Structure formats: structure tokens, C-alpha cells
A = this chain, B = another copy of it.
Amino acid sequence: MVPHLVTALTGPINELEQRILESMPVIERWFRLEWMEHTPPFYSAVDVRNAGFKLTPVSTSLFPGGWNHLSPEMLPLAVQAAMAAIEKICPEAKNLLLVPSDQTHNSSYVSNLARLSQIFNLAGLNVRLGSLKPDMKEPEQLTLPGGETLTLEPLQRGKRRLGLKHFDPCTILLNNDLTAGVPGILEDLHEQYLLPPLQAGWPTRRHSTHFRLYEELAKRFAKMLGMDHWLIHPASVGCGELDLTTNDDVAALQTHVDTVLTKTRRKYKEYGINEKAFAVIRRDDGLAGSGPWVVRDAKDVPAAIATASAGALKGPFLVQEGVLTNERVDEAVAEPVVYMMDRYVVGGFYRVHPDRADHQGLVGPGASFVPLAFEQGGQLPQPGVRPGASSPNRFYMYGVIARLGMLAASYELEATDPDAETYD
């Protein structure tokens, strides 16, 4: 079922859709050449915001945990992509160890684990789940919504390898973003494939690095299509480490907010956009449960952060141009999330929040998910259809932007690879 989209796309986005559709072979070849030089993350998910005049990724996750939200029709694509990824990385693999996040009490997250296990089973691997909980002694049964269970087992670390009792995996797949830090049990694993690599976790990643690399790609991509890269890039400023309990650092933050708002208002004027610019303040290290905080003026900053905990206020920050989302599902605000396996777009869904407004983030309690049920698959745009009128065309466009975000992440992983060779 295709979600009921109230959005009437007008203006720059329709031109963008048109430009992207006309340039399909050029775009696909451009990606192919990039993949000859850069390795895609093993899997990824990109939140895309479509403001009607601008289309950008706002968040790229390298540990996507919502595979249960993909519609069943998309599974064959995901399985085929997983097969391609495995062949490329570890063709002789037999066993895959899946390491979940700490959300295993949440039955929706457990459904995600079941779906991931199914995908890799069907791609031809034996899959078992191993927990990072250090005090775990015995296997635990995780409950799925229908009552069935998945088994979560204690990890066993040898000198050189990580596994489970009677299970020696070739491949270890992390579904845990390591927000809590890199556990010793995952370090120095040189004989097995650890996917994604440790530098994909939040102890190393920074949104600001991602968006800086993304901007470089967006500029090249936009130049190729003869358009303004602002249409596909949210202005982002890394603020570095701030202690927002101190006035000095709040002031520093306000300066960055001003910079971003001024730039945005200038662009809105240039394009005749009748919206109020806003900025989003985020933790640069992805720390959950703190923000994002939305402000329309630098002087709103103190009020916005007033209820945050001290822990949330001390750390690295990013200020980003706010991007509205023009998508609605049954009148609730929605944003598309595109899922990828290796370089392939395999599906997606709408994150929907009936209680949030179009400038707010939609993550959090109350959010629901509507599978993007591509009538003919997200890969199958219909050239020649009136721009804005075709769901498959729109999804193709989202897939292109999502892949740009994913490509930026692959540049990130290279840039932060501790084992990278340096050529003097």
C-alpha cells in the first residue's frame, strides 16, 4: 500500500526530481565509479527530509535497527543485496554472529533482529545472536510480538577470536552503535570480519565530519547535474566540545546558530521561499535522549536547552540548518527512511509522528512506521510522468540522496580507519 501523500511538490524539488530522472544513467555510472574506489558500509539507513524546496539527508545510521519496518515485498531485494555483499567481503563465510544493541527488551527491536537473521539465513549463513552484556552467563530468550522467541547467548572471547559456545563465526555483524563505548571484547579481532568496522561507532563518528564530507560530494554531484548543491545539503557547523552550563559556551553556540540562520535566510530569499528559517542543535556524537533542539533565533538557545541534563549539555555539538518535512501520512508528519544493504537501496519506510510538527524531529515515543510499499519497487521510476505525481519517481530520488549520504559515510570510515596506510 502506498502511503497517502498529501504533499503537492512544487518548485525546486520538482526540478530536482526532473533533473535526477533525466540523468539516471549519468548518476548510476557516477556511483559505480565511486564504488570502484570506496567501500560502502555493510548496511545503512538514511533519514531524508523533503521540504518541498530542498531534499537532504539529515541522519545516516550505520547500525540500522528497523529492518522489521520494511514491507515483505522488499525482502528478496535485501536478501539478494546481502548475497552480493557477502560474496564481495567473505565469500567463504558459513557463520554470522549478530550483536544487538541494548534494546533487546523491546519487542519491536527484537522483530528487527528476527528479520535480520532471516535475511542472512536466506543469503546462506547460519546466524546466532551474541550479547555484549558483560554479566551474562546463560542464554536468554527474547520475545517476539507473536510469542515466538529468539535466543541471545553470552559472547565468548578467545585470544584472537570472538564467538559463542560451539559457534565460530567468520563474520560478526554489529547492530549496536557502541554509544556506550567500544568494549574490549570487540578489539583486536583481525581474523574475523567485523562489520561495520569499529570506527563506525559513535565513539569515533561525528555528524560534523559526515556532513563536511557529504557537502564535498553534494558539490560534485550538483555540479554534474548543473544545479545548486544547497538543494541537497543542509548547512552544518561543527561547534566542537562545549560546556553549555557555562555562559561562554552558550554564547559560542549562539554565534554558530546565528551563522546558520543568516545563511539559511539568505538562501530562502534567493529562492523566494516563504518559510521561517530554523536551526537544529544536535549532539555531534549522536548521544541519544538529548535534543535535537530547534531554535528560530539565537536568543532562543538558553530556553531551548533549559530542561536538559548536565550530561546532555557537555560534549561536542553541531548546529544544522533545519529542514522541514513536507511529507504527510494520514495527516501526520512523516519522514522517509531509506534502507541500504551494501550499495543497494533495498527499501524503506516512513517514520510518522502524529504529535510532532513539520520542523521537529520525529524520533521518539509515539513514532510509528509505515512501510514504503513501492508499487513497482523503489528502483523503477517512470520517466515522463509529471514531476511530483509519481511515487516511484520520488522514491528513486530519495534513493539517490540516501546513497549520497551512504557514500559520505564510506568516506568517513576510510578517513577514520586506524589501519589505513599512510603514504608519505
**A residues lining the B interface (CB < 8 Å):** 24-25, 27-29, 31-33, 35-36, 72-73, 75-77, 79-81, 83-84, 86-87, 91-94, 118, 121-126, 344, 346, 374, 376-381
Q: Which residues of B contact A31 (CB under 8 A)?
A: 124
User: What CA separation (Å) do A86 and B36 show in the bound complex?
Assistant: 12
Q: How far is the CA of A72 from the CA of B92 in the complex (A)?
A: 33
Cβ-defined partner of A377 (8 Å) among B35, B73, B374: B73
State which of B32, B75, B84, B344 has its C-beta within 8 Å of the C-beta of A124: B32
| Contact present for A380 and B92 (CB under 8 Å) | no
| Residues of B with C-beta under 8 A to A24 | 121-122, 124
Bound together, the chains give a CA A93 to CA B121 distance in angstroms of: 33
For A94, what are the chain B residues with a Cβ–Cβ distance below 8 Å?
A: 25, 29
Chain B residue at smallest Cβ distance from A127: B25
Could you tell me the distance between the alpha carbons of A125 and B26 in the complex, rounded to whole angstroms?
Answer: 8
Within the assembled complex, what's the spacing in Å between the Cα atoms of A81 and B378? 14
Whether A124 lies near B28 (C-beta < 8 A) is yes
The reply to whether B91 and A33 form a contact with Cβ atoms under 8 Å apart is yes
* Partner pick for A32 among B92, B122, B344, CB 8 A cutoff: B92
**List of B residues within 8 angstroms of A83 by Cβ:** 28, 32, 344
Q: Which of B29, B72, B374, B380 contacts A93 (CB 8 A)?
A: B29
What would 16 more interface pairs be, CB under 8 Å, given A25-B124, A31-B124, A76-B377?
A25-B94, A28-B123, A29-B94, A33-B92, A72-B380, A73-B73, A75-B376, A75-B380, A76-B379, A77-B80, A79-B377, A79-B379, A80-B80, A84-B84, A122-B380, A122-B381
Question: What is the CA–CA distance of A121 and B125 in the complex, to the nearest angstrom?
Answer: 32
**Given A72-B376, A84-B84, A374-B76, CB of A92 within 8 Å of CB of B344:** no
Considering residues A28, A31, A93, which has the most beta carbons from chain B within 10 angstroms of its beta carbon? Answer: A28
Q: A72-B376, A73-B73, A374-B76 are in contact. Are A91 and B27 (CB under 8 A)?
A: no
Complex A-B: 25 CB contacts under 8 Å: A24-B124, A25-B121, A25-B124, A25-B125, A25-B126, A28-B83, A28-B124, A28-B125, A29-B93, A29-B94, A32-B83, A32-B86, A32-B92, A33-B91, A33-B92, A35-B91, A36-B91, A75-B379, A76-B376, A76-B377, A76-B379, A79-B377, A80-B346, A84-B84, A122-B380
Cβ-defined contact, B122 with A379, below 8 A: yes
* Complex-state Cα separation, A121 to B81, whole angstroms: 19
- A77, B72: Cα distance in complex, Å: 14
Looking at the assembled complex, report how far the CB atom of A116 sits from the nearest CB atom of chain B, in whole angstroms.
Answer: 14
CB distance from A76 to the nearest CB of B (A): 3
Q: Which 7 residue pairs spanning A and B have beta carbons closest together?
A: A28-B124, A76-B377, A76-B379, A79-B379, A32-B91, A84-B84, A25-B124
Q: Could you tell me the distance in whole angstroms from the C-beta of A374 to the nearest C-beta in chain B? A: 7
Q: How far is the CB of A351 from chain B (nearest CB, A)?
A: 22
Question: Of the candidates B25, B33, B81, B92, which one forms a contact with A29 in the assembled complex, judged by CB atoms under 8 Å apart?
Answer: B92
Name the B residues within 8 Å of A378 (CB-CB): 76
| Nearest CB of chain B from residue A16's CB, rounded to whole Å | 18
Give chain B residues whose Cβ lies under 8 Å from the Cβ of A379: 75-76, 79-80, 122
The distance from the CB of A347 to the nearest CB of chain B, in whole angstroms, is: 9
CB distance from A234 to the nearest CB of B (A): 27
In the complex, what residues of B have CB within 8 A of residue A346's CB?
80
Q: How far is the CA of A25 from the CA of B378 in the complex (A)?
A: 29
Tell me which residues across on chain B come within 8 A of A81, comparing CB atoms: 80
Q: Considering the chains assembled together, what is the distance between the CA atoms of A44 and B153 in angstroms? A: 43
Q: A376 to chain B: which residues have CB within 8 Å?
A: 72-73, 75-76
* CB of A136, distance to nearest CB on chain B (Å): 26
Q: How many Å lie between the Cα of A121 and that of B121 in the bound state?
A: 31
Q: Compute how far the CA of A344 lies from the CA of B123 in the bound complex, rounded to whole angstroms.
A: 11
Q: Bound state CA distance, A33 and B378, in angstroms?
A: 31
